[in-house]
Amino acid sequence: MMADRLVCRECHRVQSSGEEEACVACGSSSLTEDWAGYVIISHPDESEIASEMQVTEPGKYALKVR
């Protein structure tokens, strides 16, 4: 499971190992380990979920971030 991974509080992007200083998607330094569930978005321009989440880049995104 990915429970030990960090997530950006701003854009909800799940960070890969070694990316702990700032979000690779938006540059925010506001990261947290307190999150639940995630969705993988591969084609954000064709996805209603990506549109609802305001996601423009492919990747893994947390559904709930505290």
Detail the residues annotated as belonging to a binding site for Zn(2+).
Answer: 8, 11, 23, 26
Q: Which of 53, 60, 52 is nearest to 25 (CA)?
A: 60
What torsion do the CA atoms of 46, 24, 11, 20 make, to the nearest 10 degrees?
A: 140
Residue positions forming the annotated binding site: 8, 11, 23, 26
Could you tell me the maximum CA-CA distance found in the chain, to the nearest angstrom? Answer: 31
